[in-house]
Amino acid sequence: GSLFKNLDADLSLFENSRQAQILEKRSTVAGRQEKAMAQSRSEEDKVRTASEEKLQMVEQRLAQLRGEEMQMKLRQQKALHEEHYQKEISDCEAGIDELR
């Protein structure tokens, strides 16, 4: 009976030791997974931030270009009107010269 008790005790000790090793390995793996996930989230945040900044720069540049386009259109319209009136003024001056 004593031999079986010793074998049972040894077996229990061995099982407990193996169980402790398994738990330790699982804990190590879980720690590594958590670290990898945190690093992945950090990288995602960096990429997202960079993308948002780039998008904001593009939107600002687009707004600037739209403003410049509007100014150019206004200058073009002004030039067309001035050209039209310049011809009218020249015609009037020519008419005045004829009357002299």
At residue 67, what is the residue type? Answer: G
Task: Report CA dihedral (52, 56, 62, 65) to the nearest 10 degrees.
Answer: -150
> Where residue 85 falls among pLDDT bands split at 50, 70, 90?
confident
CA gap 85, 94 in Å, rounded: 14
The 10s digit of each residue's pLDDT in 22-45 is: 999 999 999 999 999 999 999 999
Question: DSSP per residue over 5-33, as a string?
Answer: HHHHHHHHHHHHHHHHHHHHHHHHHHHHH
Q: What is the pTM of this model?
A: 0.53
Quote the CA–CA distance of 28 and 4 in Å, as a whole number.
Answer: 36
Q: How confident is the model at residue 11 (pLDDT cuts 50, 70, 90)?
A: very high
pLDDT at 82: 84
Say whether pLDDT at 76 is over 80.
Answer: yes
Closest CA to 60 of 68, 49, 48: 68
Each residue of 43-70: pLDDT tens digit?
Answer: 999 999 999 999 999 999 999 999 999 9
Q: How confident is the model at residue 83 (pLDDT cuts 50, 70, 90)?
A: confident
CB atoms within 10 A of CB 30: 10
Write down the pLDDT at residue 25.
98
- One-letter amino acid of 89: I
